[in-house]
Amino acid sequence: MMLNDGDEFDGSAVEHFASPSSFLLPPVADPSLYCRTNLKIAYHEDNNQTLKFDKGTTTLAFCFKGGILAAVDSRSTQGSYIASQEVEKINEITPYMLATIAGGAADCQYWQRNLAVQCRMYELRNRHRISIRAASKLIANTCNYYKAY
């Protein structure tokens, strides 16, 4: 559910909870075992606490004479647990540029917003829109700079 300007929150996003203050538990018998199996956190071995992503996102994009067609799935998973069926994985960077999400959603959304800001700053400074090639170079340089983190 996405709210637009002027919309009011009607509570439908939390209607599946028993009460608004309750917490929905994952549908597994042993949450501790589930976390150890699917999150692969190894405190005693090293500090590289990596997540094990079991599933993937399908992203398709086609260019044709009339424009472009982009399609992605809308499911968000956490291991075998389906977190949401309605995730927006196609985002607008500029009115002429789209990006899709695949992987860790929070990281992808952050870097897409970062790229959108960089593209807008380019347009304001240079008084013309940024090319796809230049935008891809911006995000590549940004990712390269932060690769050690």
Q: Can 57 be counted among the known catalytic residues?
A: yes
CATH of domain 59-146: 3.60.20.10
Burial of 39 (0-12, 13-18, 19+ CB in 10 A): middle
What is the share, in percent, of the chain residues with pLDDT greater than 90? Answer: 32
Digit-coded pLDDT (tens) for 44-96: 555 555 555 555 788 888 888 888 899 998 887 776 777 778 888 899 999 99
Active-site residue identified among 57, 77, 100, 142: 57
Strands 67-72 and 76-78, by their bridges, are unpaired
The pLDDT value recorded for residue 15 is: 52
- Using alpha carbons only, what angle is made at residue 81 by residues 79 and 84, rounded to the nearest 5 degrees? 115
